[in-house]
Amino acid sequence: MKNAMVLACALLVLPGALSAQDASKESAEAKREDRLKTLEEQVRALAAEVEALRGELKTARESAANAPATRPKLVLASAPYARESAEAAATPGPPQGSSTAQTQVFGGATSNAKLLNPDISVIGDFLGTAGNNSIRPVRSLEMHESELGLQAIIDPYARGDFFLSFGEQGVNVEEGYLTFTSLPGGFVAKVGKMRAAFGKVNTIHNHALEWTDRPMVTDNLLGGEDGIDDAGLSVTRILPAPKWIFMEATGQVFRGDSSTVFQSVTHKDVSYVGHLRAYKDLSESTNVDIGASYSRGHSAAGADLITLPSNFHTDLYGMDATFRWKPLRRAIYHSFLARSELVWSQRDQLSPLSLFQTQRAFGFFTSGEYRLTRRWTMGGRFDRTGRAQQANLTDTGFSALLTYWPSEFSQIRGQYRFARYAEGTDGSELRFQFLFVLGAHGAHPF
């Protein structure tokens, strides 16, 4: 009975206890839900905040991208694009400098190091020839020369210039020299391999000539296309002269090896070149440039001899004259250039009977070039010259030229060349040339 009463009481109490337990559970779940809701709201708020910040960042980036790279501070109060205080206007704004163009740098990570590289250029010289010339034949088609130029300022006192000539026969250092630009006394000195200051044409690179070839006198008396081009020293100075006349003297000493003109056997067999130049402006559009040259070195004829090879010399005398007309207002459309050089050669050599003799030869050319329009130029040249080793043999020739310039950096030229050689043979050729410039090729002296 007692057990039955306990069981009945338990049954009576259990629903109440169970209901009380259910109530506490509901209360806890409600709290959890509230907390979750609060957290969800906080997350939503944070997400909205992040979104807002992203938007602001995007706007800021877009406005920065659309804004001028570096708008300078206003200098003048009246300048239309901005207004600043009078105090700011009194001080000039900083120059723009942060934005610069990129050159074609393919090295990526090393691009900054390349900023100090020299100016690099390549000039292609493609030649084609049709016709006949049995005395001095040339190839029908050839990549005549590819000139690689490397030029830079070395330090505050000097600059360096290298011109490497790649031909179909090999590579040649056409010029490679150091120029001291900051010497006292107005001197300018060069050290290295260079084209000698003998006349005008000898100093000019192939691509800067007015013709597809060099004059006959260069071939016959000055060693051919390379001319007098040797390793040595050069000193130049402007000389005192009457007002408005420019006079300049150049003295050069070379090792003594230049094509077929000079050849050294010992260290003492150096060659010399001296050049005196006078220039005058006749008006702002016309000027005349006259030069006299002398060179002496050891003749190649003595190089193979065992006894007294140093007694064989070559002496060269030259005169050059250039007349230019270029109206300043129309300089890119019309101009005229006339040029002439005369060369006398005295070459010591052995006669066929092995007797010492001196061959005295003379040669010259005269040429003219007229710019018809911005893109077209026509010209002509007359040649007549003896031969250094056989002065009694004289070659004569003339050329007519037409040049087209698509731009400053390319040139197409045609040249008809007739030659009457001393052997009694004629050469008649039609030559065409394509010149093209890649990169930054430094300007050549006037």
Partner 1 sequence: MKHTSNAFRFTATTASLALLLASLQVPPSQAAGKIQIVTATSDLAALAQEVGGDRVEVESIARGYQDPHFVEAKPSFLLKLRKADLLIVVGLELEIGWLPPLINQSGNPRIQVAAPGYFDASRFAEILEIPKGVVTRAEGDVHPLGNPHYWLDPANGQRIAKGIADRLSEMRPADASYFEQRYQAFTKRLQEEDQKWVAEMKPYAGRKVVTYHRSWPNFAKHFDLDVVGYVEPRPGIPPSPSHTLELIQLMKRENIKVIMVEPYFDLKTPKAIARDTGAQVVVMMPSVGGEKEITDYFKLFDYDIALLKKAFDATH
**Closest by CA position to 434, among listed 224, 141, 216:** 141
Q: Phi/psi class of residue 111: alpha, beta or left (left: φ > 0; alpha: ψ in -120 to 50)?
A: alpha
Helix/strand/coil for 146: strand
Q: Quick one: 246 or 344, whose CB is closer to partner 1?
A: 246
Q: Read out DSSP for 148-202? A: EEEEEEEETTEEEEEEEEEETTEEEEEEEEEEE---GGGEEEEEEEEE--STTGG
Q: What is the DSSP letter of 365?
A: E
Closest distance of CB 232 from partner 1, Å: 9
Binders of partner 1 among residues 103 to 132 (CB under 8 A) are 103-104
Which lies closer to partner 1 via its Cβ, residue 43 or residue 153? 153
Interactions with partner 1, residue window 157-216 (CB under 8 A): 157, 159, 179-189, 191
Cβ density class 110-120: b for 16+ within 10 Å, e for less: eeeeeeeebeb
Q: Which of 17, 332, 372, 400 binds partner 1 (CB under 8 A)?
A: 332
Which segment (52-60, 129-137, 331-339, 353-361) binds partner 1 by CB under 8 A?
331-339
* CB 393 to partner 1: min, Å: 28
Q: What is the dihedral of CA 434, 438, 442, 446, to 10 degrees?
A: 10
Strands 426-439 and 410-420: antiparallel
Closest CA to 419 of 128, 129, 136, 130: 136
Count of residues of this chain found to bind partner 1 when the rule CB under 8 A is applied: 83
CB closer to partner 1, 156 vs 352: 156
Q: Which of 142, 225, 289, 348: binder of partner 1 (CB under 8 A)?
A: 289
Q: Draw the binding track, 232-271, toward partner 1 (x: CB under 8 A; -: no contact).
A: -x-xxxx-----x-x-x--x-x------------xxxxx-
Q: Is 408 in the site for partner 1 (CB under 8 A)?
A: yes
- Min dist. Cβ of residue 69 to partner 1 (A): 7
The contact pattern for partner 1, residues 60-99, with x = CB under 8 A and - = no contact, is ---------x--x-xxxxxxxx-------xx-xx-xxx-x
Residue with tokens 């010149």: 435
Query: What tokens appear for 270 in the block?
Result: 């150096």
CB of residue 211 vs partner 1: minimum separation in angstroms?
20
Tokens of 196: 């000698």
CB of 65 to partner 1, least distance (A): 12
Q: Which residue, 140 or 266, has its beta carbon nearer to partner 1?
A: 266
